[in-house]
Amino acid sequence: MPVIKYPRIIDPLFYEWDRKAQKCGLRHTIYAVNGDQYTGEWLDNLKHGKGTQIWKSTGAIYSGDWKFGKRDGYGSYSILDPVTKEYKRVYTGWWENDRRGGRGTFFYPNGEQYDGEWSNGLRSGWGKMCYKDGSVYEGQWLMDQPNGQGVLQLPNGKRYEGGWKDGKKHGPGKYFYLDKGQLLEGIWVADIPKCGVLVDFGRDNASAPTEFLLPEIELHDPAAVLAEARAMFDDSHN
């Protein structure tokens, strides 16, 4: 019986080209169609592992960890100064799903700096913000605003310790007038003190103390007044 030989099936050439183009492991610089370039590790044709990306349109550079094509892990992001042509750090810290997430430090163009926790690219958790005017806030954050408990230290030495909501003083808190040697303890609503007790505090070390001592409260117990005010505040927010 004659043997029938069938022609060998050969894959189209572009199949071979595609297999060779698949990126996995450490590769040299790969250029995208838009001019962006990446040097580092790959997995299944995606940036994965350690690598550096440079965006042609902005000149920005990211160097750090990648996970399935997205910045994920620890890394540093910098931008190119158009005048000095030098790179300036913008953010150094942890990333999650291509956004700032975890602990990291952000450097603002005006010289301000935030060091703390992030979630979905926003300040959330515990962090410290140093403002351009010399003020420093350290405490809890939510959706890029002070929320929860925190301390605001002003350049003139005054400070506020207490509750915050949407970036404003809100709830029970204490405001220290160290220059006058006084302390206001009370309830704040949207940055405004609604009620409280003002007492002398550290007058001996105050730089500009008041001329006379504050009179003592005889008709009401300060602690009782504050307790009643806090109870009213809690009831109105439940």
Contact call for residues 64 and 70 (beta carbons, < 8 A) = no
β-pair type (37-43, 46-54): antiparallel
| pLDDT surpasses 90 at 172 | yes
- The predicted structure's pLDDT at residue 17: 44
Tally of domains in the chain: 2
Q: What are phi and psi of 224, to 5 degrees?
A: -70, -40
Per the confidence metrics, is the pTM higher than 0.85? Answer: no
The residue out of 107, 133, 154 marking a domain boundary is: 107
More confident residue, 120 or 208: 120
Percent of the chain with pLDDT over 70: 76
Indicate the pLDDT class of residue 232, thresholds 50, 70 and 90.
low
Amino acid present at 161: E
More confident residue, 129 or 211: 129
Same domain, 168 and 191: yes
Indicate the pLDDT class of residue 52, thresholds 50, 70 and 90.
very high
CATH number of 220's domain: 2.20.110
Same domain, 130 and 24: no
Averaged pLDDT for residues 158-167: 97
DSSP 215: P
Averaged pLDDT for residues 191-209: 80
For residue 95, give the 3-state DSSP assignment: strand
What is the rounded distance in angstroms from the CA atom of residue 40 to the CA atom of residue 45?
12
Q: Which domain covers residue 218, as residue numbers?
A: 121-237
For residue 18, give the 3-state DSSP assignment: helix
- The predicted structure's pLDDT at residue 219: 45
